[in-house]
Amino acid sequence: MDVVDVIRAKRDGRRLSDGQIEYFIRSYTDGSVADYQAAALLMAIVWRGMEPDELAKWTAEMLASGERMDLSSLSAPTVDKHSTGGVGDKVSLPLAPIVAACGAADPMLSGRGLGHTGGTLDKLEAIPGFRVDLTPDEMLRILSGVGAVICAAGPGLAPADKKLYALRDVTGTVESIPLIASSIMSKKIAEGTDALVLDVKVGSGAFLPDIALARQLAETMVQLGEAHGVRTSALLTNMNTPLGRSAGNGLEVTESVQALSGRGPEDLMEVTLALATEMLALAGIDADPASTIEDGSALKKWKDMIRAQDGDPDADLPEATERRRIVAESSGVMTKLDARAVGIAAWRLGAGRARKEDPVSPTAGVVCLRKPGDEVSEGEPLLELHADESRRFEPAIAALDNAIEIGPEAIERQPIVLERIRT
């Protein structure tokens, strides 16, 4: 088989045959197909799309390029959550211990942040000693004993996706529903869980600000999960405003512990408990996730998980040495706090990275002292910027230009959970 024929087929709008898909994924993974040839096919897919059965085969081959975790030794039902990413989206941190406290096992394989969206692993590494790189045996041991683990995916899971993802990032082929869906689902299916809930963010701070495209992505991923024997559903959730009150690694850990202690912001708790309810339903567990916060069992699971991964749950987190506040220019009601602008500001303060190899600060970020719907007075602090170097404030403040609007009247509260998608 000739890779040029495969490229031509998709260029001309034809469905790739099962044999062509098998050949391409396997040959690209083992290095027989060059990056420039793979880039040509990816661009053809961006323009021409993929049929549902074609995409299912593509995803199956990406999955088959590596290992699939075996969780059959666990006695508890297994379920996980995946978010498409947003600003202040620290949901994974309280969510995993909540569902574990309800009797599920959650092997949450997570990633690092890139650009304006934060990464779960970066947040957890703000905790002294916390270890994200675990062997499969260590993961199983922690899952069996604690019921929750949050760590990095090993190199053996969907290696085809790792190569394709890196190539898409530098060839302008990220924005494609089939390529996004197959990338996410090949990794999540490889985890080996019985069920999966997808949190697809919609709005200015989301990867897909358009709700129609977000819905299409959610439907595509749910279909892929079900086709591979994983009970799958999705929630579309609002990401026009930062979630919770903080955006930044250590800041979000602190807020997550507050959430598990019963002091979480209303919007963060609404999304977290909605996802927990959905996960438990798919796992076949009849339990009230909110009760685990009230009785302290979720917080105990959090501490057990942190200790199991060599972290100190009682350690003081590092704090930024430099702080600056953004104040209200007029009195009234805050009507807008743009999530993307806050995410970019946090990134410029040091909380994010432009390239995967860049370091991130555990202390940098933005604290939202006021949110849309709050009454504010002229001169009142609205945001607090945290950084390790004062030179970072000017570009961060520039990112916040036009991010905040204050009006004369109260606004209608936007719903957080927008839609639920099942097959």
Positions marked active-site: 82, 161, 168, 183, 187
Count of H-run helices and E-run strands, the chain: 16, 13
Provide the β-strand partners of residue 322: 387
Structure tokens at 344: 């970019």
Question: Which has the closest alpha carbon to 66: 5, 128, 4, 153?
Answer: 153
Structure tokens at 99: 């569902």
Q: What percentage of the chain's residues is helix, strand, coil (to nearest 5)?
A: 45, 15, 40
Q: Report how far apart, in Å, the C-alpha atoms of 218 and of each of 21, 274, 364, 419 are.
A: 23, 16, 32, 10
Q: How far apart are CA 218 and CA 278, in angstroms?
A: 15
Instruction: Determine the longest span between alpha carbons in the chain, in angstroms.
Output: 69
Q: How far apart are CA 283 and CA 169, in angstroms?
A: 34
Q: How many CA atoms lie within 13 A of 322 on its CB side?
A: 12
Q: Phi-psi region for residue 103, left (φ > 0), alpha (ψ -120 to 50) or beta? A: left
Q: Directed axis angle between helix 52-64 and helix 177-190, to 10°?
A: 40
Are 236 and 218 within 8 A, CB to CB? yes
Kind of pairing, strands 195-202 and 79-83?
parallel
